[in-house]
Amino acid sequence: MTEIDIKDKQTQTIAILGGTGKEGPGLAMRWAYAGYPIIIGSRQTEKAEKVASELNVKLGIDTIRGLKNDAAARQAEISVLTVVYTAHQFVLQDLKDDLAGKILVDATARVDFRDPKPPTPPSAGRLAQNILGSQVKVVAAFQNVPAHVLRANITEPLNTDVLVCADDIDAAQVVIQLANAGRMQAYYAGNLDNALVVEGLTALLIAINKHYGVRTASIGLSGLSY
Amino acid sequence: MTEIDIKDKQTQTIAILGGTGKEGPGLAMRWAYAGYPIIIGSRQTEKAEKVASELNVKLGIDTIRGLKNDAAARQAEISVLTVVYTAHQFVLQDLKDDLAGKILVDATARVDFRDPKPPTPPSAGRLAQNILGSQVKVVAAFQNVPAHVLRANITEPLNTDVLVCADDIDAAQVVIQLANAGRMQAYYAGNLDNALVVEGLTALLIAINKHYGVRTASIGLSGLSY
């Protein structure tokens, strides 16, 4: 895919912290396509710049930059955390001051793909809120979206529903709109404690994929016609 | 609805333990309609007989009986536990011998509707397996099916997917077929530990129902075309 046509220029900058991994590039491309200025964050500037450059080339655009995680967090209105789950708490402690006054979207599912099982409480989102304190609005979302599905056909709607958990409903609403901009249906599913269940769904989806010989099992909601 | 036409007589008897509550009657009617002999179990014989009689009248059949929980478990090949979650462990301790050698389907979600939050590990299904021991095959399923949806239009397919968790895949397969017979799609979603997530989904569905002003939010699976 090259030379995509970005119609609606957005003003809010989105940082994808740990954006050089599996999940980050798909989200970055979907939001870049929706017109958002994007910063790929990484522990290493060079790695961030390299991935940003690759994604720009892939989309035929120049609105994706690469920075170190702390600079990325400072320059963005909304940061999305997509680091490996073992780095979750360490990265957050490091970025506490850089995220102050902003929204942090936590996409962490603390599930080991080699030994998938439901994580123990508290949820990753609750852990993040505890670390970051009340100056940051934590929203848990995007924990279950299969990375390879996210990256493929970024202009197409995703056949999966995003469950959005947050203590602050206004912040949740911002993330629901962000998901919609990335061609994903998203629904508010309660406070940050509920995010534990969304993390745990990852273990079930791994079991389902294995049992049915697929790679794309996803969760959806029904019964919401209102 | 009266005088339903039962086409396929099944031979396996299903007991619905605690079947006089909210969830039990809907499952009982769906399986009776599919041709299974049904026993409604209760702590009190009279209460069980009364509900069984009401369901028979409602469907124009005579294949639903009422018995005390222990007798119901002994006379059935498959028992489905639909007691209130506060009674879960107590009832199982009581029925351990009656369930030996059989399948126990645990539909318990330990979520308080007045203060809904994800339950702590282990899952209700794992607790049940620990109490009942290796002589019983525990399968966790049907924790999230809205009771009023289950009871309405029992001849219609349900717009919800049942996630089936069990350590024994053959037992899970029996329950998947049972769900199918009751006009529900069902999928194997891993071992009994994973059932914790399915229980927890109840808390999310309550939050979703409340936020979106509906009563019928349900979970579905997609990406399983195989």
Report H helices in B16-68: 24-33, 45-59
Instruction: State the pTM of this model.
Output: 0.94
CB contact under 8 A, A190 and B201: no
Binning pLDDT at 50, 70 and 90, where does residue B7 land?
low
In sequence order, which residues have a C-beta less than 8 Å from that of residue B54 and are 6 or more positions away? none
User: CA-to-CA distance for B150 and B146, rounded, in angstroms?
Assistant: 6
Other Cβ atoms within 10 Å of A184 Cβ, number: 21
The average pLDDT across B192-212 equals 97
Give percent of chain A with pLDDT exceeding 70: 96
Q: What are phi and psi of B124, to 5 degrees?
A: -55, -40
Residue B87, pLDDT above cutoff 90: yes
CB contact under 8 A, A188 and B194: no
Residue B18, pLDDT above cutoff 80: yes
CB contact under 8 A, A188 and B208: yes
Q: Which residue of B has its CA nearest to A173?
A: B211
Residue A153, pLDDT above cutoff 90: no
Residue A8, pLDDT above cutoff 80: no
In sequence order, which residues have a C-beta less than 8 Å from that of residue B109 and are 6 or more positions away? B85, B119, B124, B143, B144, B198, B199, B202
β-strands B218-222, A185-188: how paired?
Answer: unpaired
pLDDT digits (tens, 9 = 90+) for A48-100: 999 999 999 999 999 999 999 999 999 999 999 999 999 999 999 999 999 99
Predicted local confidence at residue B183, as pLDDT: 95
Q: Which of residues 39-98 of A touch B (CB under 8 A)?
A: none
Predicted local confidence at residue A9, as pLDDT: 80
pLDDT digits (tens, 9 = 90+) for B171-200: 999 999 999 999 999 999 999 999 999 999
Predicted local confidence at residue A146, as pLDDT: 86
In this complex, the residue of B190, B200, B224 whose CB is nearest that of residue A207 is: B190
Residue A1, pLDDT above cutoff 60: no
Residue B3's Cβ-count burial label (10 Å; 0-12, 13-18, 19+) is exposed
CB contact under 8 A, A204 and B224: no
User: CA-to-CA distance for B104 and B138, rounded, in angstroms?
Assistant: 5
Residue B1, pLDDT above cutoff 60: no
The average pLDDT across B71-98 equals 97
Predicted local confidence at residue B3, as pLDDT: 55
pLDDT digits (tens, 9 = 90+) for B107-149: 999 999 999 999 999 999 999 999 999 999 999 999 998 888 8
The average confidence (pLDDT) of chain A is 94
Predicted local confidence at residue A90, as pLDDT: 96
Q: Which of residues 197-216 of B touch A (CB under 8 A)?
A: 197-198, 200-201, 203-204, 206-208, 211-214, 216
Binning pLDDT at 50, 70 and 90, where does residue B2 land?
very low
Predicted-complex ipTM score? 0.93
Higher pLDDT, B62 or B4: B62
